[in-house]
Amino acid sequence: MSPIPLQRPRRRRRSAAIRSLVREHELSPADLIQPLFVLHGRGVEREVRSMPGVFQFSVDEKLDREVDTVRSRGISAVLLFGLPASKDDAGSENYSEDGIVQRALRRLREQHPDLLLITDVCCCEYTSHGHCGVLRNGSVDNDATLEILGRVSVSHAQAGADIVAPSGMMDGMVAAIRSSLDSSGNSDTAILSYAVKYASGFYGPFREAADSAPAFGDRRQYQMDPANLREALLEAALDEAEGADLLMVKPALAYLDVVRAVRERTQLPLVAYNVSGEYSMVKAAARQGWIDECRVVLEALTGMRRAGADAIISYHAKDAALWLRGGDGE
Ligand code: PBG
């Protein structure tokens, strides 16, 4: 006869009350950041085909209504992406005072003084070639791009951004942006660096949402090789040394080991980006009735918190925030 087990972990799982008592990690709407796509025009609310439930909004009542919904669910941070009216080689709308993100910032800043406004700072949505910087001889010129990123960041700060989030994986981008912000009187504006960003197939649906697919080639000359972990630690350390206020790892699900490893080596807050492809896969399977969307979303987001992320950017943020109020999903 087998001995009676002295330790029976199941005793701690018998009821919702004891499970919540011994729960190790918490996911709350306060940890979530909602991405938002803004575009020119009036009265526009256009669903992204590859991301059901995600919309591009014009900067008017359409955007207001979405932000009201997001806030009413307990989320207090948004990440803005803009679709410009026109594109050119340098992506000049990116740093124009009348740019789409600048307009959205001014409106949101005025209507929601305590909403945390984060902006993605990159060139790919604005350049005619779709790469994350200016080109020279067919590849992205790192140092010429830094100058543009500085200008974009200052114009976002002046329009009301609390945090700028450079995502182009240019070397020295954090230092360049910090110095531009400081020398223009914007030393209170923080930098959330996409420090560890892999060249990932999981960004597929985003390129439709933000109309930012590269016209030729791919992003492997600046985004990281998915096979590398030590390099992630190096990138994170460099951005911390350059003055980043928060660090990010992106994507999230296939890189939770990277989240954990970066978490153990920095005291800075760490953000995980639950990217577009992760969203669309869940949506597609849920629409087929193959998985329970609420359950798998909360499970995945909790996994990111358990891996060490303090905050999570997710297209599911506003749904997750609603579901979190409905208990543990059982
Ligand atoms: C801009 C940027 C991208 C994403 C965030 N900022 C696209 C890319 O790098 O190709 C991806 C976000 C997502 O897939 O949800 N550089």
How does DSSP assign 116-151, residue by residue?
Answer: EEEEEE-STTTBTT--SS-EETTEE-HHHHHHHHHH
Q: What pLDDT was estimated at residue 2?
A: 84
Overall average pLDDT of the 140-164 stretch: 97
How many angstroms separate the alpha carbon of residue 164 from the centre of ligand 1? 15
How many angstroms separate the alpha carbon of residue 51 from the centre of ligand 1? 14
* Cα gap 78→35, rounded to integer Å: 6
Overall average pLDDT of the 224-247 stretch: 98
Q: What pLDDT was estimated at residue 59?
A: 98
Of residues 62, 87, 250, 283, which has the active-site annotation? 250
Cβ burial 212-250 (10 Å sphere, 16+ → b, else e): beeeeeebeebbbeeeeeeebbebbebbbebbbbbbbbb
Cβ burial 302-316 (10 Å sphere, 16+ → b, else e): bbbbebbbebbbbbb
How many angstroms separate the alpha carbon of residue 147 from the centre of ligand 1? 20
Q: Whose CA is nearest to atom 10 of ligand 1?
A: 203
* Residue 66 near residue 36, CB atoms below 8 Å: yes
Overall average pLDDT of the 75-93 stretch: 96
Place of tokens 């902006």: 119
Q: What pLDDT was estimated at residue 330?
A: 36
Q: What pLDDT was estimated at residue 326?
A: 81
Per-residue pLDDT tens for 257-296? 999 999 999 999 999 999 999 999 999 999 999 999 999 9
Ligand 1 site residues (CB inside 6 A) read: 120, 122, 124, 132, 167-168, 203, 206, 212, 219, 275-276
Per-residue pLDDT tens for 168-220? 999 999 999 999 999 999 999 999 999 999 999 999 999 999 989 898 999 99
**What are the CA-CA distances from residue 167 to residues 8, 38, 220 (Å)?**
47, 18, 14
Residue 329 has pLDDT above 60, yes or no: no
Report whether CATH 3.20.20.70 matches the domain 27-324: yes
Q: For the purposes of burial, counting CB atoms within 10 Å of the CB of 138, is it exposed (0-12), middle (13-18) or buried (19 or more)?
A: exposed
Asked if 197 is an active-site residue, the reply is yes
Cβ burial 53-90 (10 Å sphere, 16+ → b, else e): ebbbbbbeebbeebbeebbebebebbbbbbbbeebeeb
Q: Which amino acid is at 105?
A: L
Q: What pLDDT was estimated at residue 171?
A: 97
Overall average pLDDT of the 126-132 stretch: 94
* Residue 176 near residue 238, CB atoms below 8 Å: no
Overall average pLDDT of the 229-235 stretch: 98
Looking at the chain, the whole-number percentage of residues with pLDDT higher than 90 is: 94
Overall average pLDDT of the 20-30 stretch: 97
Residue 327 has pLDDT above 50, yes or no: no
Structure tokens at 80: 């803005």
Residue 86 has pLDDT above 80, yes or no: yes
Q: Residue 328: pLDDT band by 50, 70, 90 thresholds?
A: very low
Per-residue pLDDT tens for 63-83? 999 999 999 999 999 999 999
* Residue 208 near residue 248, CB atoms below 8 Å: no
Identify the DSSP state of 313: E
Please name which of 179, 194, 180, 166 lies closest in space to residue 262, comparing C-alpha atoms.
194
How many angstroms separate the most distant Cα atoms in the chain? Answer: 78
* Cα gap 70→123, rounded to integer Å: 27
List of residues 6+ apart from 250 with CB closer than 8 A: 167, 194, 196, 197, 198, 200, 272, 273, 275
- Per-domain boundaries in the chain: 27-324
Mean pLDDT, the chain, whole residue set: 96
Residue 110 has pLDDT above 80, yes or no: yes
